[in-house]
Each structure stands twice: as C-alpha cells, then as structure tokens.
C-alpha cells in the first residue's frame, strides 16, 4: 500500500471519529502537566540521529499546546516535525500538526506561527538560544 492511501485511511478514520486535540491553554503549566502524564522521556534520540522532544507550543493567540517535536540535530536542531496530542479515553495519540490543525476550532492565523521550547535544554540546538524562553 502506498503512503497516500495510508494517509487517506487515517484521515477517514479521524473524520469519522474526530480527535480531541489537547491544548488552547491560557497557562503553560497545563501543557506541562499533560506532558508529564505521558511516559516517554523528555528527550529521545532516534536511530537516525534526530531527537524527539516533549515541548510546549505557544500559538499566535497566546495559548499553549503540549506537543512532541522532531529535531534535526545535523541542522542545529531545526524542527522537522510537530505532533499535537489527542486524548481518547485514557490513551494519548500523536497527530501530525498538519492534520491536527483541521480539528482545532480556531483560524489558522490564531495558531501560527507557533513559538516553542522543549521541556529540557538540548545541547547543539542553535534555534533555542534563550531556552527556556520561547523561540
């Protein structure tokens, strides 16, 4: 099966059962609390050398979203993937931002551009010069 069919299947499933995207918080502490409930480490080095990191996104409307970011460490920590979190009963699912934004009841300009910071400082990340400030 090719990727576009797989993506269409996922989109059809999500349309049939819309995910409850977590976020839109007025304070960053609520996003941190959500991330603390997820058992993954704050920073995980993947086999390909990228890093998956727990992060807080600051939307253009000054609300906060817990997320996982994929950082390309060969390019100084450039963000190459962003995943928002959906809750389904007592389990969490990561949904790519490009798909998740369709399930958030806000205009695009209220969400983007996002600023972010990871929960832990990442050595070699040149994009977060003033960590823990939002970059």
pLDDT in tens, 12-22: 666 677 788 99
Residue numbers of the chain with a pLDDT score lower than 70: 1-15
Q: What is the pLDDT of residue 7?
A: 59
Q: What is the pLDDT of residue 10?
A: 63
Q: 3-state class of 14 per DSSP?
A: helix
Q: What is the pLDDT of residue 94?
A: 92
CA–CA separation, 134 and 4 (whole Å)? 34
CB 68 within 8 A of CB 53: yes
Q: What is the pTM of this model?
A: 0.88
Beta carbons within 8 Å of 127's beta carbon, 6+ residues apart: 76, 77, 78, 79, 135
Retrieve residue 79's tokens.
């963000």
Retrieve residue 40's tokens.
């993954």
Q: What is the pLDDT of residue 9?
A: 67
Q: What is the pLDDT of residue 1?
A: 40
Strand residues in 28-106 grouped as ranges (E): 43-45, 51-58, 64-72, 78-88, 91-96
Check residue 104 and report its DSSP letter: S
């Amino acid at each position: 099966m090719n990727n576009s069919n797989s993506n269409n299947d996922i989109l059809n499933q999500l349309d049939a059962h819309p995910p409850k995207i977590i976020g839109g918080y007025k304070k960053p502490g609520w996003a941190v609390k959500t991330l603390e409930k997820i058992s993954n480490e704050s920073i995980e080095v993947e086999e390909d050398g990228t890093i998956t990191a727990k992060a807080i996104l600051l939307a253009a409307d000054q609300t906060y979203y817990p997320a996982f970011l994929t950082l390309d460490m060969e390019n100084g920590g450039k963000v190459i993937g962003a995943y928002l979190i959906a809750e389904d009963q007592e389990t969490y699912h990561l949904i790519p931002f490009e798909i998740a934004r369709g399930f958030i009841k806000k205009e695009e300009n209220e969400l983007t551009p996002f600023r972010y910071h990871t929960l832990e400082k990442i050595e070699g990340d040149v994009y977060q010069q003033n960590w823990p400030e939002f970059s």
